[in-house]
Structure formats: C-alpha cells, structure tokens
Chains A and B, each alone.
Chain A
C-alpha cells in the first residue's frame, strides 16, 4: 500500500468539494479516478500534491501519517503531480525546466542534467530532446517535460490530471505505453479522467467519484462502459425546467465543414456541421476542452477559421424592410442591387430619391424583401457581423475577462454592446442606465444600484448582468457557454428560464453545458462533440445520460442518433 486517504473532506465556502473520501493507492498500479466535471477529482488529488490542505482527514504514506502543505512537501514524500495547465518557462529548454528549483549536491552542470534527463527518457520510452526550447514544443512534448520534471525529483507516486485532454490518439497511445513501463518499474500512477475508454484501456483499478463522494473503487477488468457510466452519472435527476415544444422551428444558423487550428497547429475543430434552429435550444455536450469555446468564438467572429461556412439564414421573403436591422446606407445598397419589391410585387428603386423620401417609404412598411437573406459570417469580425444587421449574442465562458469589464459599473457594461449608437461622439448613458435598472429589477440582481462595479458582484449576479445584456440586444442567435457554471441553484434557474423565454420568442439558442441532467432537461436537441469533432446529435427528449456519456468519449461520428 503506497498511499492511503482517510476521511478527506474539503470545503470551499459553502461548497463541499470532497466529502469524507477514503482511497487506497497500491504500489505498481495504475489507478484511474473517474467522475464528471466538478465531482471533486482534481481537488482530491491537489490535496496529495500539496496545493490544497484538507479540512478533515488523514493522508498516510507507507502506513505513516504525513502532512503535506506544499508541492515541495509532496516531493519529499515522492509524490508529483502533472497539472492540466503546465507550469513551464517558455524561454527555457526542457532540461532547464526540469532542473528548476531542484536542490542538488555539487556544482550545477547543464551537461549532467541533460544526460540524466536522457537516462530517464530512455528508461521509460519518452521521446524528448532535452535541449529543445519549450516554445518550440507541442503540447505533448510539454507534457513529457512535466512528467520527467516529476520523475527527476524522484517521485514514486505520479498524479496526472486529464493527461489525454490535449493529446492526439497516437500521442495517447504513446503516453499509455510510458505509463505502463513506469508501472512495471514499481511506480504508482493515478490518472484523473472522465473518459471511459481510457479507463478501460490503461487502468488496473478505478475509483469513481460523484458530487464529491467516493462511490466505489473497483477492478477495471470487471467493468464495462455502461457499468462505469451508470456509476459515474448516477440516476437521472429530474429537474423542474419548463420545456415547451419548439414552435415552427426554422433553420437560423447553418454551420458546414468548419475547421480550425490553434496557434500551435493542432486542429481544434474538425469538420463541424450542424444547424441551429430558431425557436429551439441546441445543447452542446462534451468533455471540457473539446472545442466548445473555439466553436462559439469562431461563430462570433473572434477566431479566423480555416475552411467551412457559417451561414446566417434570415427568412425575409415578402417581409417589410426596417431600419432596425438595416442602416440607411445598407438599404440604398440593397435597393440598388434590386433586393426589394413593393406590395404590388414591382421592384423598388430609390434612384434619385432623397434620404427623407426613402425613410418615409421604408417606415410606411411598403418596401418588402424579394428573398430570404443568407449571409456567410465566416471570418467576419464582430463589428462586421453587427454592421450586417445580424443580432448575434454571445455569453462567453470567461465572464469577467471577456464578456464584461470587471472594473466598470453595470451601466458601462451595458454600453459594451450599444455604445456606438447615436450620430455624435458622445456616449448616451441614459439608455444603458435604464437597461441596467431593468435588468437589476427583472433578474433580481442584488446590488446597491447600476453604478456598482461589476467586480464587486457575486458570481450569480455577474452572470445575470451579462446574460441580461446579451438578451436585451434582441438577438436572433444567442450563444451561451457554461452560463450556470459556479452559480447557485436559484441563479441557475433564472438563467434557464431566460434561455427558455428566448427560445419561445423564436431565437436560436446554443447552450454549452457540462451537467448532463441540465442539458437533457433544458435542450431540444443535443450535439455531442469530442476532440473538436461532432460525434452525434440526439433528441434531448428521448436520449439518456448513458447515451450521451458514450458519445462524449467516442472518436467516430455516429450518424444522427434518433434525430427527431
């Protein structure tokens, strides 16, 4: 028995992250810690690695109780953790990063370090050039550096947090081979994961956590995917979300063959194709970092995509032109292209007419569109999308770093979307202020008033302000990434309710979520993605959690499972 945890409990404020967890780790085994996002896997491991300190409970190593207060303490007990976010100095070589902070006997000699690194790499079958700079490395190489960093410090217990999240299938195979060799060498390996196939492939035993509690530790050989899924997600919880049948859903956003690569050259979106309908909530499910953020940012015009199309479809045929969505300049241009007709069906031309005349004709409602509008949003900036008259709202994952400005007050944050309004250079704060007051009132934001700095609000209230603003923009498409993350139950329901109201008003809502129960109860359809590719689109009314859980870990696409 290498390591034992007894009754480990950790709270963050009122949230119970780990609830009296008992766990044993044997020498020379690979133990998988399995659980959904937010079940407390990483928190639990962080307590062994010295990042957090448990509120209650004991940690025993080789049968003796130990106190681990810092990563350094952990190293002294031969425990090392490879975090999801690498801690490396980009400018340094692999060897320099590995030796950083290690206190060794004798003079520092880079050559010795390099040869020791080589030795470790060869022993376990890593492929690594110790002299290569981190900034030249792929994610997989960086991970290798992190693992060797831990081995170099003599760790016997290695904890890897979601090690495969960022790797290609080939790299995963290689990593697993290395892990097996380390196991044979007598090391204990703990991998945190929520991918069932990997658990089955590499682990000897698997410990399942759910909502902070240790459910069971079982031998992997006795398990299969459906048994594990059942233990991981538990019974379906019925949520009281009022879901109406979509009323005359029409295609609104048609995404086809979307491809995107990250700055490091890794493909983060692979041939994504889907349609979001107006009057419907389309859920996006997937393990964290499967490309959700990149997909939404590509649609919002924040990421230049490589190929594919994002078509905004606007059924306008025989509907009146308004200045709400089209500027005078745009109306003139469209008229010149012959895009309008009048009530009698004759083409409308504004040739030689004054602005006032045109305005009068348009406002009387007699100018109608000839056909539906189709606009490709691909690689248009957010400003261009807006200038096309498309109301696309986006509630990003990073609320205070992107969606809102933390150091500005609520009114000024309202203006982010609308400040350009008005012909002159001055800001109009009256409208935004009224809007802020309305949102505070209707969404019950608890704040002294609209002049409160957003940073001072609680998480739930911050999100209400952000979602409220995006909805006030009268969107045709509303995208929300993890809109209830970190929110209490009450605030979460406020958000669900708002999304439902938008759906009923005919908006195409795209909801990226992590809680499968919520996705199943709120959405009409759920698109599951894994590794940047769509693995299936299911009907949320008939699908089960197990079904989605399987899709989340699958690599090939299963065509339109029971599409409604």
Chain B
C-alpha cells in the first residue's frame, strides 16, 4: 500500500474535475445515450431471464416492440398509461418542493397511503348519509389533512432538533402501512382484511373515468411549476435549499420554510392518495400507494426537480413499466419483470449524470500537472 520513496508516487491515470458548464444539448445527448445503452442491457438481461428468447433469439424484435405495445396498442392501454403516469407524476410533484429545499422526503409512500386512508375513512363512515358532492369534498379535505400531518411531523423535528429526515420519513411509511392494516381489521369484521370497493365517493366521469384525474394532475403540474418558480414561497424554498447561510443573511426563517414546505409536500401526496381513492380504487389496501412514493423520488430526481421535465421522466418510467408488463405477458415471465427493466435503465441514467457533472482528463504524457492542483 505504501510507496517507499517520494518519486514512487505517480499522478493517477485519470484526473476528475467538476464541469463548469455543459450545453443542454450535450447533457441530453448523454442522457439519451444512457437510456439507449440501458435498453440494450435490458435486451441482454432478457436473454438470461426469458426462456422463449433463449429458444428463439429472433424474437428480440418483439421484445422491444412490446415496449410500444404495452402503452399504445389499444386506446384502453393508452388511457391507462396516461392515468398511471398522472398519478405517479402527482406523487413526484408532491415530493419536489421538499427536494428543492434539500429535505430528503422518502416518505411519499406513507403520505400518499394515509391520504388514501383518510379519504376512504370518510367514505366508509359518511358514504350514503350525505350528498355525494359533499362527501367528495370531505374526502378531499381528509386526504389533504392526513397527508400534511404525515409530512409535517418529521419536518417539525428536523426544524427544531435537526432529526435526520431521510430516516424519519422512511419509518413513517411503515407506520402508515400498519395503520391501514389496523383500520382494515376494524372495518372488515370477517377477518379477510379486504375492504372491497365502496359504493360511495367516486369522482364524476369526465369523458371517461381517467380524464378528470389527468386534467387535475396537468393543472397541478402547471400550478406547482408556477409556485416553485414564480412565487415568493418558491423562491424561499430554493434559497434555503441552496444555502442556509444565505437564507439567514437575508432574514429568511428557515425553520418556518421547512415546516411550511413539508405541509405542502405532504398535502399534495394526500391529493395523490385522494385521486387513487376517489378516482380509481375506491378502497384502501396496504399496497394502495404501490411503491410509487419511492418511484416518485426517482422521477423527481431524474427530472431535475423541474415539474415540466418530470412529465417526461414519469412517462418514461410508466412506459417501461407497462412495456415490461406487456413483455411478461407475451413471454410468460414473472410479473416482477418491469422492476428489473426499470432498474437497469435507471442504473444507466443515474450513472450518466456523472459524465454530465464531471470532466475526465486522462494522464498526459510528460510531467505532472502539479500534484497540488487537486487540493485547492
């Protein structure tokens, strides 16, 4: 490990430095290349995992075509694609204000789930006893409040004592899960723990059952984009996220901003829960959020915390998801395949960020570029 004499130490083969800037075109080129490489790797993985492909390798074309078919072959699939993308996007949007503030909210799953639970609780107790429109409003209020509560608890502790929010919000997910199990046991005396579809509290249909959800999320995207970029609150969030010292310097109370932003983040997760509860499922299970609280983190991060860019990343994830679902159907593999495909493609995208942020210099021949350059 130790080189004995001074002259034994050489400059390393590669030398890294942060890029001062990169043209957006080049950055997107790198990301695009990463996605293509990722899909290529998926193809290789498919040969390992899918017997039908091993038997007849020429079907690799079908493999890739399934990505298109999964979302676009029928109008039903297309609507499903749009609706699922919307709900995923909704959760991702909800997490984004927190991320912009460098508050690592890994609790989207739980905040969404309690949103579903809140809405369904209202529908369960009040359904049929009050007018449907009032019920829907109360469900919305319950969902927003539950989500906000779930978000603000870790925020209060972080603001006051600096409690690690990543781990706190992560734990809150499981508290939410078992809270749902608890209510299911209470609500379903039979012991099956399956509530079934409720009769009341369903969002009205606009054209079809999906369009309203999509429109709500489109409006939310625009609204959040404006909130983050054009309002004083959004500006404060960015300043706190970039530098707490600057925030103090100009007199922003960063604790207040943290709490306020997490109320918003949690409430918007609650909204996603409401869309799931009143717009789609009309019931609650421990899987109502379906891992989208976690996927939402990836969507938000991949979209650079920019709501407009997140439309694309949410769509990409959903495209892979439905495409791989189609593949598992077509090729008879386990329905967990989408996770593998998404994982592989994301690995490549995550890795590609390095090449966007850093420049790699290879050792030049001749003498050292002063060993100290590396130290400041």
Binding site for B on A (CB under 8 A): 46-47, 50-55, 66-70, 72-73, 76-77, 103, 300-302, 381-386, 394, 396, 398, 401-408, 412, 415-417, 419-420, 425-427, 429, 453, 456
Contacts and interface: CB of A to CB of B under 8 A. Distances in A.
B249 interface: yes
A407 B304 CA distance: 13
A407 B251 contact: no
Interface stretch (B3-11, B32-40, B273-281): B3-11
Given A51-B375, A52-B372, A405-B243, A66 B6 contact: yes
B288 interface: no
A427 B235 contact: yes
A405 B230 contact: no
B232 interface: yes
Contacts of A403: 246, 249
A420 B368 contact: no
A72 B245 CA distance: 35
Given A52-B370, A420-B232, A396 B239 contact: no
A55 B368 CA distance: 10
B250 A408 contact: no
B5 A53 contact: no
A69 B11 CA distance: 9
B9 A70 contact: yes
Given A103-B1, A404-B246, A420-B232, A382 B7 contact: no
Contacts of B4: 76
Contact of A426 (B232, B239, B242, B250): B232
Interface in B354-376: 368, 370-372, 375
B233 interface: yes
Contact of A73 (B9, B246, B370, B375): B9
B256 to A, nearest CB: 11
B238 interface: yes
A415 B235 contact: yes
Given A52-B372, A53-B368, A425-B233, A396 B249 contact: yes
A426 B370 contact: no
A53 B238 contact: no
A456 B232 contact: no
B163 interface: no
A55 to B, nearest CB: 7
B73 interface: no
Interface string B1-37: 1101111010000000000110000000000000000
A429 B226 CA distance: 13
B248 interface: yes
A386 B372 CA distance: 45
A352 to B, nearest CB: 34
Contacts of A70: 9, 371
Nearest to A413: B246
A136 B222 CA distance: 51
A69 B6 contact: yes
16 contacts: A46-B372, A51-B372, A51-B375, A52-B370, A69-B6, A103-B1, A383-B253, A384-B251, A401-B246, A402-B246, A403-B246, A405-B242, A405-B246, A408-B238, A416-B250, A426-B230
Contact of A407 (B242, B245, B253): B242
Contact of A427 (B2, B6, B232, B371): B232
Contacts of B246: 401-405, 416
A383 B248 CA distance: 9
B376 to A, nearest CB: 9
A210 B244 CA distance: 38
A4 to B, nearest CB: 16
Contact of B6 (A51, A76, A396): A76
B17 to A, nearest CB: 15
B164 interface: no
B231 interface: yes
Contacts of B239: 405, 416
Interface string B272-312: 00000000000000000000000000000000000000000
A196 to B, nearest CB: 29
Given A408-B242, A425-B233, A456-B21, A402 B249 contact: yes
A401 B249 CA distance: 10
Contacts of A405: 238-239, 242-243, 246
Interface string B106-133: 0000000000000000000000000000
B252 to A, nearest CB: 8
A402 B235 contact: no
B231 A425 contact: yes
A427 B230 contact: yes
B243 A402 contact: yes
Interface string B80-121: 000000000000000000000000000000000000000000
A398 B375 contact: no
Which 4 pairs, one residue from A and one from B, show the smallest C-beta to C-beta distance?
A52-B372, A383-B251, A382-B251, A73-B6
A429 B235 CA distance: 11
Nearest to A416: B250
Nearest to A76: B6
A53 B232 contact: no
B157 to A, nearest CB: 22
Contact of B370 (A53, A420, A427): A53
A83 to B, nearest CB: 11
Nearest to A452: B21
A381 B251 contact: yes
A419 B232 contact: yes
User: Which of B233, B234, B370 counts the most A-chain CB atoms under 10 A from its CB?
Assistant: B370
Contacts of A396: 249
Contacts of B371: 50, 52-53, 69-70
A301 to B, nearest CB: 8
A405 B252 CA distance: 14
A382 B250 contact: yes
Given A402-B243, A416-B239, A425-B232, A68 B249 contact: no
Contacts of A427: 230-232, 234-235
Nearest to A382: B251
A106 B180 CA distance: 57
Given A382-B249, A427-B234, 10 more contacts: A67-B6, A67-B7, A384-B251, A386-B251, A398-B245, A405-B246, A408-B238, A416-B246, A420-B232, A425-B231
Contact of A68 (B6, B232, B248): B6
A412 B241 CA distance: 14
B237 to A, nearest CB: 12
A412 B249 CA distance: 15
Contacts of A77: 6
Contacts of B1: 103
B235 A412 contact: yes
A407 B21 CA distance: 11
Contacts of A402: 243, 245-246, 249
Contact of A401 (B238, B245, B375): B245
Contacts of B6: 66-69, 73, 76-77
User: Which of B232, B243, B251, B252 counts the most A-chain CB atoms under 10 A from its CB?
Assistant: B251
User: Which of B2, B4, B372 counts the most A-chain CB atoms under 10 A from its CB?
Assistant: B372
A66 B370 CA distance: 15
A286 B327 CA distance: 72
B239 to A, nearest CB: 6
B96 to A, nearest CB: 16
Nearest to B5: A76
Contacts of A419: 232, 235
Contact of B20 (A53, A68, A426, A456): A456
Nearest to A68: B6
A416 B371 CA distance: 39
A52 B375 contact: yes
A405 B7 CA distance: 42
A73 B9 CA distance: 8
B216 to A, nearest CB: 22
Contacts of A67: 6-7
Given A401-B243, A405-B239, A426-B231, A302 B9 contact: no
Contacts of B234: 427
